[in-house]
Amino acid sequence: MEETNKLEKMFTDIKDYAETRLDIVVLNTQDKATNVISSMASAVILGTLGLFILLFLSVGAAWSLGEYLHSPSIGFFSIAGFYLLVALVLFLNRDKWIKMPIINAILKKITFHENN
């Protein structure tokens, strides 16, 4: 009888341990997911604000260049050409400058708690 009680207690302890480990895994996964999502949301918000700043600076630069060259269209086409050149350079280096840093940042966020 005593052996049966010990065996039942051992199975109950194993069950409790397994449930606790599962809860810990779920909580760690939730923590990592919310960390990544909040970082992405922050990047989107800051990126949007940066785009607005870039837009107004570009319009101002195109307008000023157009005034200087006495042709507003030349100013706007010059700025557009500059952005086309920037876009081409970014496109050619997209894996090295964009894709890999984003992947590394996400992996760093996910694996941060495992290193501590």
| Percent of the residues in the chain that have a pLDDT greater than 70, as a whole number | 95
Give the tens place of pLDDT for each residue, 59-91.
999 999 999 999 999 999 999 999 999 999 999
pTM: 0.68
Q: How many H-runs (helices) and E-runs (strands) does the chain carry? A: 4, 0
How far CA 37 is from CA of 16, 21, 43, 48, 72, in Å, comes to 31, 24, 10, 16, 43
Token representation of residue 74: 């030349």
| Domain ranges within the chain, ordered by starting residue | 2-115
CA trace torsion 88, 92, 94, 95 (10° rounding):
180
Residue 115: per-residue pLDDT = 54
